[in-house]
Chain A
Amino acid sequence: MSQQVTAPVLPPPTPTRRKPLFSLDNRYIAPAFITCILLTGHLTFGILESYWKTLLAIVTSILLELALGQIFYRKWIHPASAYITGISVGILVRSPAYWPYALCSALSITSKYVLRVKGRHIWNPSNFGISAMLFLAPETVASLSIQWGNYLLPMLVIWALGSAIIWRLRRFHITGIYVASFIAFAFLRSWMTGSPWQSEIAPITGPMYQLFIFFMITDPKTTVRSKRGQCLVVFLIALLEMIMRLDQIVYAPFYALFIVGPIAILVEIWMDSRRANAAQLTVTQ
């Protein structure tokens, strides 16, 4: 979730085009959006356990990013990405204790610097952090699955706003394919298990998924580059999630992304490497 939303996804403006009255650098769109979600959720429903825990997650995330950036790149890394990681941790982690918030942020940011292959970090940072916490500290940590209003209007607003932003960032196809796959698989699960279809659809109407589909699975740094590949990968995430759901795994989406995401990146790296070798061979010949 600590995506670098500064990816050059938009064409540069032509010199003849007039500058719009209101414009926002792409790198600030995602942080602004997630801040809106946080504030709306908290001011209307009080979703945060405490301001301090969320602040702790954000501060830990940013400070660690700045420190590691200095140590390993000798530069100050723009904090937008770390901010998103921190705020995501602050929203998604639910624990009565303080330390899981700091630890989850630290794990998320550090994973970007440790778990790298050919210069790319292969896990979405906050997905890694949250999955690790859920796996390693289940007696202290849960994730946000229910602690948000179950009402229609906030959901529609967030979905509409999120879709518009993701569209602008040219990553709506990822979200779209995932949602379509989830719904199709929900009906399939309902048919297979006999559960009401509404109960299978229910999770995606909740807040956890709003963060998952708009931030995690669309992270430019940890998704493959080709559009077709992105569609395939996100479909596979939904497929694995469905299988996990049949096994009644509560945090199936996190774990599915945790497994499929890095594999997809590794496959892409391998294919890039093969292509590079082939190209080099051609040049040599």
Chain B
Amino acid sequence: MTGNRVAKGFLVLFFVALLATPLVMKRVSGGRGSDRAKVDAKTALARHGFYLEEVSHAAGINFVHHSPKLDSKLDPIMPEVASMGASVSIVDFDRDGWPDIYVTNSAIGSKNALYRNMHDGTFKDVASEMGIADVNQQGTGVSMGAVWGDFDNDGYEDLFLIKWGRPELFHNDHGHSFTRVTEQAGLPSWINANTAIWFDYDGDGLLDLFVGGYYSEDIDLWHLTTTRIMPESFEYAKNGGRKYLFHNLGNGKFEEVSGKVGIDSRRWALAAAAADLRGTGHPDLFIANDYGVAELYFNDGKRFHEVGEKTGVGFIPKSGMNAAFGDILNQGRYAVYVSNISEDGILIQGNNLWVPKEGTAGDTIQYQNLARDFGVELGGWSFGGQFGDLNNDGTLDLYLTNGYISLDRNRSYWYDFSKVAGGNSTIIGDAKNWPAFEGRSLSGYQSKRVWLNDGAGKFVDVAQAVGATDTYDGRSVALVDLWNRGVLDVVVANQNGPLLVYKNTVAPENQWIEFELEGTTSNRSAIGARVTLFWNGQQQVQEVSGGCGFASENDRRLHFGLGKNAQIQKAVIRWPSGKVQTIEKPAVNQLHKIKEAA
């Protein structure tokens, strides 16, 4: 080296500065992205406009989820292979105007629960008397989730039970009981699925059903003939379960048409959601896949076209576990939130927030992942996430639950996991090659995220400050105005853990409006109906969903926060039938029940 001493001195300083950069970046991003201070409710209300109080016991809910116990050949890695099944979906099954809660259990012999809203702040489990509790019987598999949709347009929401095993369809008999109609409907005898959604893909006024397989459907997880059931690759696997699209024929029967309409995938689906992303009037289908890229299917009303890579959402493989839509910038366009895995120093996939690129729309729409820019990227081993305006300030916030396997706090399985996950397909694909779990945790005991949207492109995590302090292994999140108060409460289903009900208290000066829609020409559940609300010079679009997030379904009623002194110009409803209905100056702070105009 021939440089002079001064240059060498500067070089050393430069080198030290480089080494110090990560610490500086950590400090900068740490201070900006979250409010980790635990504060009292009053302070949270003043600072963030809301606080959450876990009230499950007071509300009469004492549900605890139990994981399945699969074939003993999987015993060494049972915590991992049996790590899903806790789910929550919201339905007003008896049409009394008060939302009820359905939760799944996953051990053989365990029972699901249907919590009827008693209108007095409490709930009562009526699943047994309704005939939808004992659905995890030996030989039939176990529940992984549930979605509700009125498939026969009789006004009552019917239940599709997602299972590793025999999927079940229950007809709702006017809120008095449920009748199992699985065989009549023509559903297959076995699917190992974790996601399903109701949507009317062809606009015929009848709800169709999409089911996304996870494990291959020819595997009975309780009676394995081989241990080669695992993904062939951690991020490029295509040996998962097949996909099903059941077209509703209108006579109580369904026809499986996935191949016919262009859906042909064996990726490991964990979450699906549908919304009209291009303004065509047809719901497009987004599938978040574990062990691979996401898939986005554009729907032309008859056929689906996979455009994941073309639109940008399907190129980088991660571990997709959630799909939720939200108009986060109040621009009348949906962003898509997909949860993945992040573990410090081992695997930083980061969650994805797919935001439409400026200047792109329609068939040429392109998405860019702005999770980092918006501050919603790192959420640990993330599972269910839902958009909703938690403080009624007029922008959609994001509730994310997380945590994979919480066992021994002091011993981690990550080393063994990363060892095998990087191996050749012949190694990773065979469960017998995976080291035994031996009671270790894998991304367990994680803190949840409640990201508040500032409306200008930044989210701040306030989970600890507003009372979302649990560290259970969260799976499924549903947002619902449980007690008709004009606020979104949060219900969280935890794997091997209790069902949590976070009652929300919102600063009273923030206003709101809700819409309960009922289709006439369109499907009666109004799934796919889209409301664009115009107020105070801004707009926000929301769509009635037949299932979104991870193994969950939000309240069918659409909730808009409005902020202070809201002056609503109009609400424009576009029904799945194509009809457009405009409500001029709807009153704030109330629920509007709207029937599709004849």
Closest chain A CB from B17 CB (angstroms):
10
Are A138 and B344 touching (Cβ within 8 A)? yes
In the complex with contacts A139-B344, A141-B348, A250-B345, A202-B21 CB distance below 8 A: no
Q: Which residue of A lies closest to B415 (CB)?
A: A248
* Interface pair B426/A152, CB less than 8 Å apart: yes
Which of chain A's residues 106-127 have a Cβ closer than 8 Å to chain B? 106-107, 110-111, 113-114, 116, 119
Bound: A207/B234 CA distance, A: 13
Are B345 and A72 in touch, CB under 8 angstroms? no
Indicate if the CB atoms of B234 and A150 lie closer than 8 Å. Answer: yes
Q: Is the CB of B345 within 8 A of A198?
A: no
A46-B316, A134-B345 as given contacts; A110 in contact with B235, CB under 8 Å:
no
The residue among A95, A96, A136, A193 with the most chain B CB atoms within 10 A of its own CB is A96
When distances are taken between beta carbons in the complex, the residues of chain A under 8 Å from B345 are 134, 138-139, 141-142, 250
**Contact status A199-B1, CB under 8 Å:** no
A82 and B350 alpha carbons, distance in the complex (Å): 29
Complex: how many Å from CA A200 to CA B435?
9
The listed residue with most A CB atoms (<10 A of its CB), out of B22, B23, B430, is B22
The answer, yes or no, to whether A26 is at the interface (CB within 8 Å) is no
Q: What residues of chain A lie closer than 8 Å to B416, measured between beta carbons?
A: 195, 199, 248
Which of the residues A49, A94, A146, A198 comes within 8 Å of B427, measured between beta carbons? A198
CB pair B347–A146 under 8 Å, yes or no, is yes
Q: Known contacts A138-B344, A142-B348; is A205 also within 8 Å of B424 by CB?
A: yes
Task: Give the interface size bracket for B toward A.
Answer: 35 or more
User: Are A140 and B348 in touch, CB under 8 angstroms?
Assistant: yes
A267 to chain B, nearest CB (A): 22
Chain A residues contacting B19 (CB-CB under 8 Å) are: 107, 132, 136
In whole angstroms, how far apart are the Cα atoms of A195 and B411 in the complex? 16
Bound complex: CA A137 to CA B559 (Å)? 40
B378 CB within 8 Å of chain A: yes
Q: Which A residues are CB-close (under 8 A) to B424?
A: 150-152, 155, 202, 205-206
A114–B11 touching, CB < 8 Å: yes
A278 within 8 A of B: no
Contact (Cβ within 8 A) B22 A136: yes
As a 0/1 sequence over residues 151 to 182 of chain A, the CB contacts with chain B under 8 angstroms (1 = contact) are 11001000000000000000000000000000
Query: Would B236 and A45 count as touching, CB distance under 8 A?
Result: yes
Q: Are A198 and B433 in contact (CB under 8 A)?
A: yes
B427 x A202 contact (CB < 8 A): yes
Chain B 402-425, CB-CB to A under 8 Å as 1, else 0, gives: 000000000010111011111111
CA A217 – CA B579 in complex, angstroms?
67
Interface centre among B232, B348, B412 (most CB of A within 10 A): B348
Bound: A146/B236 CA distance, A: 10
**Once the chains bind, are A114 and B427 in contact (CB under 8 Å)?**
no
In Å, the complex CA distance between A199 and B435 comes to 7
A114-B12, A196-B433 known; A150+B232 contact, CB < 8 A:
yes
Which single member of A103, A113, A146, A208 contacts B11 (CB below 8 Å)? A113
Q: A195-B435, A199-B420 are in contact. Are A72 and B415 (CB under 8 A)?
A: no
Contact B428 A202 (CB under 8 A): yes
Q: Is the CB of B372 within 8 A of A106?
A: no
Within 212-270 of B, Cβ neighbours of A (below 8 Å) are at 232-236
- Nearest residue, chain B, Cβ from A134: B345
Residues of B within 8 A of A87 (CB): none
Q: Tell me the bound Cα distance from A260 to B203 in angstroms.
A: 66
Closest to A75 in B: B2
Q: Which residues of B lie under 8 Å from residue A250 when comparing CB positions?
A: 345-346, 414-415, 418-419
Nearest residue (CB) in A for B234 is A146
Q: Is the CB of B419 within 8 A of A199?
A: yes
Question: Is B508 located at the chain interface by the 8 A CB criterion?
Answer: no
A152 engages B425 (CB within 8 Å) = yes
* Given the contacts A72-B7, A136-B19, A139-B344, A146 and B14 also touching, CB distance less than 8 Å: no
How long is the Cα–Cα vector from A140 to B21 in the complex, in angstroms?
Answer: 12
Q: A94: which of B348, B377, B422 is its contact (CB, 8 Å)?
A: B348
Question: Could you say which residues of chain A place their CB within 8 Å of the CB of B235?
Answer: 45, 146-148
Q: Does B535 contact A (CB under 8 A)?
A: no
Asked if A208 and B346 make an inter-chain contact with CB atoms under 8 angstroms apart, the answer reads no
Chain B residues positioned under 8 Å from A107 (CB to CB): 15, 18-19
In the complex, A110 Cα to B293 Cα: how many Å? 36
Q: A103-B22, A116-B1, A202-B423 are in contact. Are A150 and B428 (CB under 8 A)?
A: yes
Are B418 and A146 closer than 8 Å at their CB atoms?
A: yes
The reply on A270 being an interface residue by CB < 8 A is no
Does B3 count as interface, using CB distance less than 8 angstroms? Answer: yes
A97 to B373, CA, bound (A): 9
A74 interface residue (CB < 8 Å to B): yes
**7 cross-chain CB contacts under 8 A:** A96-B349, A138-B346, A146-B418, A151-B232, A152-B424, A198-B423, A205-B424
Give residues in B with beta carbon < 8 Å to A: 1-3, 7-8, 11-12, 14-15, 18-19, 21-23, 25-26, 232-236, 293, 315-317, 343-350, 371-372, 377-378, 412, 414-416, 418-428, 430, 432-436
User: Assuming A49-B316, A100-B22, A195-B416, what are 12 further A-B pairs, CB within 8 angstroms?
Assistant: A46-B293, A71-B7, A72-B3, A74-B2, A107-B18, A136-B23, A146-B422, A150-B423, A194-B436, A196-B434, A202-B424, A250-B418
